[in-house]
């Protein structure tokens, strides 16, 4: 009687005057299965007739004519099971039936027969949790299941059961931040975790927990630019930071911040051809440019040596072992050495 009385939503006919609540249920039986459940959240959707009307997304049955939005929730309850969240961006993907349809990537359930693209976002909302970004290039790696599958490098979560390679890039996008390139040779270095691990030379980030040596080269590629060769002997110079550091003989690039002496020889190798030894003593022969420069005794230095300092010279060029042979005669009156000594050609 709260709804079916005289001055209420659905007044009873005159023939029903005086009938009670108990009398109603004696004749009028509930609809089998009850009214259709509402398959979406109702927050922010109080105007049911926006979508459920002859001009809206879903036409109402004839027996609902004249019913208002206030009446809807009196009969229709919200389903305890909410629609599946959309696990990808919808921008540029408004044509839902291109992927979600019979014979497409995802087959729709039988309950969705006849539903249109416009209806999808009325019920299905975009998930607040975005799919994981792909941390490597996809060119040449289109067969995702070769690495991402049960028993492969990366096991998929249970929610991905039955998904195909074609589905991967629908949800997962390539990260705009590419993995760091490997700056050293991999010859003889297949066990990445020997150097890249907690307590080793390079600690790996928290996001790499549980990753194996086999996983490394899936994402990280060897840099096409090889590290600079060491242009001097390293015996007695194992403490690289003495000369290679901010304020020292050679400043390191910003990319080397935090690197230790132990890391240097992992990437940098000694050049097969070392700088020539100095055929004279270095004491009291500075600056080097007095002899080693354009128009001087030795002539112009190679382009690679521009702006190098005296400290840099002695870092690479060492004095001839044993020193230079002594002159076995007096020099008085013999200043023109070429009278006796013909320079080697």
pLDDT at residue number 247: 87
pLDDT at residue number 345: 60
Summary mean pLDDT of the chain: 89
Task: Say whether pLDDT at 268 is over 90.
Answer: yes
pLDDT at residue number 144: 94
* Tens-digit pLDDT profile for residues 24-72: 988 888 888 889 999 898 888 888 988 998 888 898 998 888 888 888 9
d(CA 40, CA 125): 9
pLDDT at residue number 179: 92
d(CA 222, CA 185): 7
| DSSP per residue, 97-158 | GGTBSTTSSBPPPGGGTT--HHHHHHH--B-SSPPPPB-S--TT---GGGTBSTTSSBPPPG
| DSSP per residue, 281-339 | --TT---GGGTSSTTSSS-PPPGGGTT--HHHHHHH--BPTT-PPPP-S--TT---GGG
Give kind and range of the element (H or E) at residue 61.
none
Task: Say whether pLDDT at 343 is over 80.
Answer: no
* Tens-digit pLDDT profile for residues 7-31: 777 888 888 888 888 889 888 888 8
The share of the chain scoring above pLDDT 70, in percent, equals: 99
Q: Which two tokens stand for residue 302?
A: 């190679």
Answer whether 40's CB lies under 8 Å from 46's CB.
Answer: no
Span 187-208, average pLDDT? 90
pLDDT-derived band at 98 (thresholds 50, 70, 90) equals very high
* Tens-digit pLDDT profile for residues 269-320: 999 998 888 888 887 888 998 889 888 888 888 888 888 888 888 888 888 8
pLDDT at residue number 334: 87
pLDDT at residue number 172: 94
pLDDT at residue number 128: 93
Span 112-141, average pLDDT? 91
Q: Which two tokens stand for residue 235?
A: 């015996």
* Tens-digit pLDDT profile for residues 216-264: 988 999 999 989 999 898 888 889 999 999 888 888 999 898 899 999 9
pLDDT at residue number 54: 85
Answer whether 100's CB lies under 8 Å from 108's CB.
Answer: yes
Backbone dihedral region of 40: left (phi > 0), alpha (psi from -120 to 50 degrees) or beta?
A: beta
Answer whether 51's CB lies under 8 Å from 115's CB.
Answer: no
Task: Say whether pLDDT at 338 is over 90.
Answer: no
Span 159-169, average pLDDT? 90
């Amino acid at each position: 009687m709260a709804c079916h009385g005289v001055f209420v939503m659905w007044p009873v006919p005159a023939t029903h005057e005086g009938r009670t609540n108990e009398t109603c249920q004696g004749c009028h039986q509930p609809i089998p299965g009850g009214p259709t459940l509402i398959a979406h959240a109702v927050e922010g959707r109080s105007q049911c007739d926006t979508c459920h009307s002859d001009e809206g997304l879903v036409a109402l049955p004839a027996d609902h004519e004249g019913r208002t939005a206030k009446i809807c929730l009196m009969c229709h309850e919200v389903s305890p099971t909410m629609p599946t969240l959309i696990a990808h961006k919808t921008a540029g993907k408004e044509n839902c039936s291109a992927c979600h349809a019979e014979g497409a990537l995802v087959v729709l359930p039988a309950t969705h027969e006849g539903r249109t693209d416009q209806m999808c976002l009325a019920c299905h909302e975009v998930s607040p949790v975005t799919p994981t970004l792909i941390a490597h290039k996809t060119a040449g790696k289109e067969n995702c299941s070769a690495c991402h599958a049960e028993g492969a490098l990366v096991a998929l979560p249970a929610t991905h059961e039955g998904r195909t390679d074609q589905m991967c890039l629908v949800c997962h996008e390539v990260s705009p931040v590419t993995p760091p390139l490997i700056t050293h040779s991999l010859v003889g270095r297949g066990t990445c975790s020997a150097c890249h691990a907690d307590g080793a030379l390079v600690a790996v980030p928290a996001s790499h927990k549980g990753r194996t040596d086999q996983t490394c080269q899936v994402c990280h590629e060897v840099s096409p630019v090889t590290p600079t060769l060491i242009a001097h002997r390293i015996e007695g110079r194992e403490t690289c930071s003495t000369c290679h550091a901010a304020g020292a003989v050679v400043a390191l690039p910003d990319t080397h911040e935090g690197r230790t002496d132990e890391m240097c020889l992992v990437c940098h190798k000694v050049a097969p051809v070392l700088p020539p030894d100095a055929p004279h003593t270095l004491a009291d022969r500075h600056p080097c440019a007095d002899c080693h420069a354009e128009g001087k005794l030795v002539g112009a230095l190679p382009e690679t040596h521009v702006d190098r300092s005296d400290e840099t010279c002695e870092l690479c060029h060492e004095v001839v072992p044993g020193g230079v042979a002594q002159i076995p005669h007096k020099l008085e009156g013999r200043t023109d050495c070429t009278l006796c000594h013909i320079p080697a050609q």
